[in-house]
Structure 1
Amino acid sequence: MFDLLHKKIQLSSFQLIILGFAGVILLGACVLMLPISSQLRQFTPFSEALFTATSAVCVTGLIVQGTGCYWSAFGQGVILSLIQIGGLGVVTIAVSFSLLSGRRISLMQRSTMQEAIAAPKVGGIVRLTGFILRGTFLIELLGALALLPVFCRDHGARGIWMAVFHSVSAFCNAGFDILGTDQNPFPSLTEYAANPAVNIIIMLLILIGGIGFLTWEDIVVNKWRLRRYRMQSKVILLMTVLLMAIPAVFFYTDLTELPTGQRILAACFQAVTPRTAGFNTVNLLSLGGASNAVTMVLMLIGGAPGSTAGGMKITTVAVLFANAFATFRKREDAQMFGRRIEPGAIRSAATILMLYMSLFFGGAVIISLCEQLPLSLCLYETASAVGTVGLTLGITPELGLVSKIVLILLMYMGRVGSLTLIYAAVSGKHLSPAKLPQEKIAVG
């Protein structure tokens, strides 16, 4: 399919990625509109179906209808399929079908796959794809088996489906749950706030999905020989530990009304879930303004490149910090783990930061004006959308059409990547080798 499109329309890898995601979203929305997808067997408005499909494919978790009480078993199955496609990536799924059918993987498909999973080179991309698929389904299976005793105890035979759904949703960093009822349609995992097994399993699935496929490969191949890891893998693992430990201590000081054991679980879970899973075990409205601000920062940072997580990516933040430290110490080059960072990576990191901040703040301003809501509430929702997280302070289901469209666009841009959209737009344009005269400008 990708080769055919490339030959007929001359699409670049970046254009194939954004069109692939858009196509799956539209197809998912059309299926979710059908009466068979809802429990009441009624047509779902296109705007609500599109919002749900976008949130699922973009592994966000923001919803306008309770997944457990509005959608039928068929509808939940469609949503889970969209989550799996979105988590692995549309290109990965397409290449997987080619592998299963025994077809030869073309250079165009390999190049597109490389861009989709942020691989350093085209060589070995087919082997890596097989590794990703095997690893994904094994981890999701183990997660479902680990959750099975708790959900079967509480929900009987339906607990099997619930274990599978929540395992896939957690690994793909989607944040969708099917625990809602007509009386409480948006509970997330609050009823399991004091359950260590559910908390630990969901956190592990989130973290494993969020560290990236290339980091998995380093861990499997090199095991405890950390010196052999890629610099990127070292940065991802270090940043993951820091961005879990430091916020967990902060959240622990805010959750003073909980018993000590539950307080530790809730603090750790709240530190993990904004990057970028979207589950919650505590009432987010009970957290203070400072905790919400920290959560927004974590949502914008997100997980690792080439992972099931969204956000700016922790490597982007690490590169910006390394560049700042180099400036403070008057070094010409930014460095990490004994390696010099290329200038292009620093320029890309600065561009990504600017784009995410613009989308985050601009979207919040538009929603605030349209809905007459406090800007702080809207900033939380837009951070959740562009970071593909799914945490909400409760305003998403009540938003008007224009505001929902804003969130849909933010989820889509956050999932495919802002730089991917830019590269897709400028694809085919050749840069001139000529350079303009240089002149100094004062900054800071």
Structure 2
Amino acid sequence: MRPNERFDLNNLTPAQILSLGYLVIILIGAILLSLPIATASGKSMPFIDALFTATSATAVTGLIVENTSIFFSIFGQVVIMVLIQIGGLGIMTMSTLFAFLVGKKITLKERLIIQADLDQFQLSGLIRLVRYVLLVTFMIEGTGALILFTRLIQEYSLGKALYLSVFHAISAFNNAGFDLFGNSLEGFTGDITINLVITTLIILGGIGFAVIAELYSGKRKFKDYSLQTKLVLSVTAFLIVIGTVVFFFLEYSNPETMGGLSFGKKALASYFLSITPRTAGFNTVPTGALKSSTLFFVIILMFIGASPGSTGGGVKTTTFGALFAVVYAMVTGRSDVELFKRRLAKEVIFKALSIIMISLLLIVAVTMVLTITENMKFLDLFFETVSAFGTVGLSTGVTGELSVIGKLLITITMFAGRVGPLTLALAIGRKEETANIRYPEEKILVG
């Protein structure tokens, strides 16, 4: 929108409306969390902390300045859970659900916003996909909560076990990382049921709804899937396997994390740790006690993140796959960028490179400022920034010690990570315009 144009929702692009919509939800959540009724002590939470928490919940991140299980009342915890659900599914999915309930028709403008929110290629079938997203979400979360309940009922009362099961099923499927145990899942390091249920919810929430729909479409052979699904499944599986192996060897003898565990529990903890950095934020071993080499590898996984159209963040698995394909094509001297015997379009390559570059610039800028405003180790600040951008929620323990400026920077980074770096850039920039002039081509030396 140009400076001389009047503010009108009809003049806003889908990217601008999405960004504005998430901002409104965050502000409403911050106001609710700053109320005395939202805290266990009955005292109002500082607005900067409420804003930070609301952003973390809506951006399905999981970074916290106060212990969720102790600091917040049931009301505050429910507000956080609702924000997680809205943020995970997307504001347009929730708006469409409301439209379904009141019988309102979905306009073309709204369909365009839904398309941007769910990262879809075309308008056709969007409303059917939204219905599918809602149905699948509630089914998966319900199933996960039921299985968790059968385990937690062994240690908690009926009402408490049910509440914990629902909260953590929603938090896990939406890749949020908020917990009500006080120390994430460190008390369940060797618990197979808890580990497998939570990781399964994280994976399902992170591969994207369109991929889930295709997996249940009846196609039985991998070759019959679309390029999107093939790439998502391949990169996801690759990162899980590589992550498990790397973490197993790096932390095998670390006495503060896995050193005292049995071989089986070490493997389980490594598997969990390979999945949770992909925007989930739960941990079964102390994150702050991980070796520097392990933390750096976690940063790489957090930067990559989940998949498009999912509840997770990061630059996305497909962006990573496309960038890898570009490098492979250049190294092997191919004129086309190919994946699974399909050629990638030029605009897809440009978009992938733009996302990577914008994301790196944001992370570098925020980390640089944090090194000036905060008296903390560089690796801890770098880790915190990437965790916020990837909407992960893992922390080495410095979140609560951030200054007001630090909290604001991390809040902005979480917001950018949820909306998407490219979407946010398009929202801030001008509407797309077609150039009337095409300049002559000239080469430059690079590398």
Partner of 1:170: 172
Unpaired segments of 5 or more residues in structure 2? 1-5, 253-258
Separation in structure 2 between the aligned mates of residue 129 and residue 232 of structure 1, nearest angstrom: 18
Choose the corresponding residue for 1:395, options 395, 398, 409: 398
Pairing of 1:279-428 with structure 2 (within 5 A): 279-428=282-431
Identify the range of structure 1 (367-376 vs 273-282) with the bigger mean alpha-carbon deviation: 367-376
Q: Is the 8 A contact 1:254 1:287 kept in 2?
A: no
Q: Given the alignment of the two structures, is residue 235 of structure 1 paired with residue 238 of structure 2, yes or no?
A: no
Partner of 2:445: 442
| Counterpart code for 2:185 | L
Per-residue displacement from partner, 1:211-266 (whole Å, max 9, x unpaired)?
00110111011342322211011000000000000110011112321211110110
Q: Is the 8 A contact 1:285 1:393 kept in 2?
A: yes
Separation in structure 1 between the aligned mates of residue 295 and residue 9 of structure 2, nearest angstrom: 48
SS of equivalent to 2:53:
helix
Partner of 1:111: 112
Compute the displacement of 1:429 (Å). Answer: 4.9
SS of equivalent to 1:391:
coil
SS of equivalent to 1:227:
helix
Compute the displacement of 1:364 (Å). Answer: 1.4
Q: Quote the sequence identity (%).
A: 39
Identify the range of structure 1 (370-379 vs 238-247) with the bigger mean alpha-carbon deviation: 370-379
Identify the range of structure 1 (431-440 vs 277-286) with the bigger mean alpha-carbon deviation: 431-440
Separation in structure 1 between the aligned mates of residue 7 and residue 180 of structure 2, nearest angstrom: 39
Partner of 2:198: 202
| Counterpart code for 1:320 | L
SS of equivalent to 1:155:
coil
Partner of 1:89: 90
Per-residue displacement from partner, 1:169-188 (whole Å, max 9, x unpaired)?
000000000112xxxxxx11
Q: Given the alignment of the two structures, is residue 211 of structure 1 paired with residue 212 of structure 2, yes or no?
A: no
Compute the displacement of 1:377 (Å). Answer: 1.1
SS of equivalent to 1:68:
helix
Pairing of 1:123-162 with structure 2 (within 5 A): 123-157=124-158, 158-162=160-164
Compute the displacement of 1:285 (Å). Answer: 2.5
Compute the displacement of 1:421 (Å). Answer: 1.2
Q: Is the 8 A contact 1:222 1:228 kept in 2?
A: no
SS of equivalent to 1:18:
helix
Compute the displacement of 1:356 (Å). Answer: 1.2
Q: Given the alignment of the two structures, is residue 275 of structure 1 paired with residue 275 of structure 2, yes or no?
A: no
Q: Is the 8 A contact 1:364 1:382 kept in 2?
A: yes
Compute the displacement of 1:425 (Å). Answer: 2.4
Compute the displacement of 1:8 (Å). Answer: 4.8
Separation in structure 1 between the aligned mates of residue 126 and residue 63 of structure 2, nearest angstrom: 33
Number of matched pairs: 434
Compute the displacement of 1:6 (Å). Answer: 10
> TM-score, normalised on structure 2?
0.95
Partner of 1:35: 36
Pairing of 1:53-68 with structure 2 (within 5 A): 53-68=54-69
Partner of 1:250: 246
